[in-house]
């Protein structure tokens, strides 16, 4: 199975996700994907990746982000727990959250913050690794506080990870 280079854009670091029209913040839940979700998360419905391929890799965990009280999927993430860090394999915003007419802002940042929080919860000090497309490396440095490790390998850790987690999870990490 080929490894994806990330090409998600961080539109804004928010306090959760925001309604693009009103600016209203909405609390979210990031929960495991259900098999029934794969009826909706299809390329023919505007999704860019084949999430069924991610499901086939048993080492990966798939999650969806929902606005509390609404079952509509706002985005998805595939990650893997590796010794001492979390590897991001894939992040995708729902088709209705792309472009100028997007419904919500902040979905990708929220999903990255979820991965960082999981890393802290597992005692990995917020370490999250991923491969980035060359043209987005500076974007991830500027928006996520990511560090370029080697060629296209990046990581988020320490204070940068804590800042992301505290932004989306209402200051849940002290210090």
Q: Which of 112, 106, 144 is nearest to 18 (CA)?
A: 106
Look at strands 73-82 and 85-93 and give their pairing.
antiparallel
Q: For position 60, what pLDDT does the model report?
A: 95
How far apart are the two ends of the chain, measured CA to CA in Å? Answer: 40
Residue 70: phi and psi, rounded to 5, are -135, 130
| Sign of the alpha-carbon dihedral angle for 99, 105, 110, 112 | positive
**What span, in angstroms and rounded, lies between the C-alpha atoms of 112 and 2?**
21
E strand segments, 34-113: 61-67, 73-82, 85-93, 104-105
Q: Which residue has 């690794």 as its token pair?
A: 129
> Which CATH number is 17-167's, of 2.60.110.10, 3.10.290.20, 3.40.630.30, 3.30.9.60?
3.40.630.30
pLDDT in tens, 120-133: 999 999 999 999 88
Q: For position 42, what pLDDT does the model report?
A: 87
**What span, in angstroms and rounded, lies between the C-alpha atoms of 162 and 126?**
7
Extents of the domains making up the chain: 17-167
**What span, in angstroms and rounded, lies between the C-alpha atoms of 28 and 7?**
23
Q: For position 1, what pLDDT does the model report?
A: 46
Residues forming a β-bridge with 18: 25, 105
**Which residues of the chain fall short of a pLDDT of 50?**
1, 6
């Amino acid at each position: 199975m080929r490894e994806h280079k990330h090409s998600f854009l961080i539109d804004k670091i928010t306090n959760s996700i925001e309604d693009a029209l009103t600016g209203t913040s909405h609390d979210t839940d990031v929960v495991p994907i259900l098999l029934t979700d794969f009826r909706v998360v299809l390329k023919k419905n505007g999704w860019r990746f084949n999430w069924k391929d991610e499901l086939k890799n048993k080492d990966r965990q798939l999650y969806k982000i929902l606005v509390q009280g609404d079952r509509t999927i706002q985005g998805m993430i595939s990650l893997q727990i590796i010794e001492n860090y979390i590897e991001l394999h894939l992040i995708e915003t729902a088709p209705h959250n792309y472009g100028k007419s997007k419904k919500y802002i902040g979905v990708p940042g929220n999903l990255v913050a979820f991965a960082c929080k999981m890393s802290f919860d597992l005692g990995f000090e917020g370490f999250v690794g991923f491969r980035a497309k060359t043209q987005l490396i500076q974007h991830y440095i500027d928006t996520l506080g990511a560090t370029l490790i080697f060629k296209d390998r990046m990581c988020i850790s320490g204070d940068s990870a804590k800042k992301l987690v505290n932004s989306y999870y209402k200051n849940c990490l002290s210090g």
